[in-house]
Amino acid sequence: MMKRFLISLLSLLSLGLTSYTQSISRLKLDNLFNTLSENNLAMASIAISKNGVLVYQKAIGCSFIEGNNKVPANINTEYRIGSISKMFTATIIFQLIEEKKLFINDTLYQYFPSLPNAGVITISELLNHRSGLPSFTNATNYPDWMDKPKNHNDLLALISGRKADFEPNSKADYNNSNYLLLSYIIEKVCKKNYKEVLNERIISKLNLTRNYYGNGIDSNKNECASYKYFDNKWVKDKAANLNNFSGAGAIVSTPSDMTKFIEALFSYKLVSKASLDKMKTLVDGYGMGMFPYSFQSKKGYGHNGKTEGFASSLSYYPEDKLAIAYCTNGEVYPKADILNGVLGICFNTAYTIPVFKPLVINNQELDKYIGTYLSSQPSIKVLCTKNEVNLLLETSGHTFVLDAIENNKFMNARYGYFFEFNQANKQLLIKEGDDVYYLNKQ
C-alpha cells in the first residue's frame, strides 16, 4: 500500500567483540534493537567501527521465512546492499583515473556513441548524476522484468530509446543509468567483467570475505531474502535479477565488511587523498559515489541503498573515525529514525528509546486531529475521524485504526504504518518504511 496505502518469534543475536569503546553504549544500542525486534518493527544487522576496530555488532529477526521455518539472522548474514554498490564503482573509476586508463573528462561517446548526448556527457557527469540520461529502472514496465535476465544491449536500449530528462550538467538528479554505464565502461577499459574487476581491485585487497557480486538468493549460504510487513506478518518480496544492475546495485555484503570498505576508502588504501577529495566534493548536494551525512554538528559521507525489501546505509564520520553500516531485509520502523537513534547513542547525545505500546489518551484529545488531509504529489486524500477509543484514518474505502504511542504520534501495527501530526504546520506525516508522505489539513 501507498505503495500499498494508496490502494488501500523473532530472534536476537549479539556477539562479544574484540574491543570495547566506553563512549558508545552497547547497552543502549541493545535496548534499541531489542525493542525493534520485540515489536516486529525491523529485521536487520548493524556494525559500528571506531578507529578501525569493531565496537558493536548485532543482528535481529530472520534471514529466511517459509511457513513455520524461520532462520534466525546472525552477524554474518549477507544482504543485498543496493545502491551502496555505487561507492565501489566510483572507487574503481578513480583508481583507473589515477592509472591514466581513463580521464574524468572523457565523453560517453568514446564508449557508447549511440546514447543521447553521448558527445557531451563526461565521466564526471555520470559520477555525480548530472548526465540527464533517463534511468533504465524508470521504464514503465520495470516491475515486470526486474527478476528476469537482461543483457548489456537490452539495458542500453532502454536508455537510448528514450529522450534525455534534461540537458547534461544543467542540474543533478539521481539516476541508476549513470552507474550502470560506469560499470560497463570499467569492463571496456579493464577488458574483464565487473565482477572480476571488483574482486581484484577491492575485495581481494581488503580481504572482504562476505562481500561479492551477487546472483540468486541461497539461504543455505546465509544469504537473506527480503520481506514486507503486511497484515501482522512478514511477506516475502520479489527478488530482482542483480545482473541487471551491475555496478549500480549488484553487491551483496555484511555490515562488518561494509565498514572495512569505507574505512579503507577514507584512509587512502584504495584511492589517493586527491581522488577522495574529488569524490567528497559536492555539486548541488551530490558527491561522486557518495552523499553528505550529518548529525547535529557532526559531518560525514556515505550512501544509502534500496532494492526490493532490502534497505541499507553506510556512513563515515572522518573527525570521529566512526563507521556505521546498517542492513535490513524487513523494514517497518523507518531506517532514518533508527539510524538517528544509533547516531544519538554513538555521539552520546540525549536519546530516548521509543516505546511502541499503545497509550490510553482522553478521547476528547483526539478531536484536534479530526479533519481531511490532502497531498498532491503523490495524490493522497485521507479523512481522520474517531470512535470511542481510537483515532481512525479512512482512505480509498479502507479504514485504519491508529494507536497513540507518543504525543502527536500514532501507529497501525497491523500494516506497519506510522503517523505524526504537526499541529503548528497543520500537517500529517505518514511513514511507510523510508517513504514519508506530507499531507496538509484542509
Residue 389 has pLDDT above 80, yes or no: yes
Burial class (CB in 10 A: 0-12, 13-18, 19+), 236: middle
pLDDT at 10: 31
pLDDT at 5: 43
Give the span between the Cα atoms of 208 and 206, in whole angstroms: 5
pLDDT at 258: 99
Q: Which residues contact 309 (CB under 8 A, 6 or more apart)?
A: 226, 227, 228, 237, 329, 330, 331
What are the chain's domains?
A: 9-354 (3.40.710.10), 363-441 (2.40.128)
**Average pLDDT rounded to a whole number, residues 213-233:** 94
12 vs 387 pLDDT, higher one: 387
Residue 273 has pLDDT above 50, yes or no: yes
Long-range contacts of 126-129 (CB under 8 A, 24+ apart): 126/178, 126/179, 126/181, 126/182, 127/90, 127/93, 127/178, 127/182, 127/288, 127/289, 128/172, 128/283, 128/286, 128/287, 128/288, 129/172, 129/173, 129/174, 129/175, 129/178, 129/286
Q: Of 67-71, 322-326, 338-342, which gets the smallest average pLDDT?
A: 67-71
The pLDDT confidence band at residue 385, using thresholds 50, 70 and 90, is very high
pLDDT at 4: 45
pLDDT at 337: 94
Please state the pTM of the whole predicted model. 0.90
pLDDT at 380: 93
Residue 6 has pLDDT above 80, yes or no: no
Per-residue CA distances from 369 to 212, 314, 365, 373, 440 (Å): 49, 37, 8, 10, 12
Burial class (CB in 10 A: 0-12, 13-18, 19+), 170: exposed
270 C-beta neighbours (distance < 10 Å), count: 21
pLDDT 10s digits, 355-365:
888 888 899 99
The pLDDT confidence band at residue 219, using thresholds 50, 70 and 90, is very high
**Average pLDDT rounded to a whole number, residues 116-123:** 98
Look-up of cell digits 552507474:
179
300: its cell numbers: 560525514
pLDDT at 8: 40
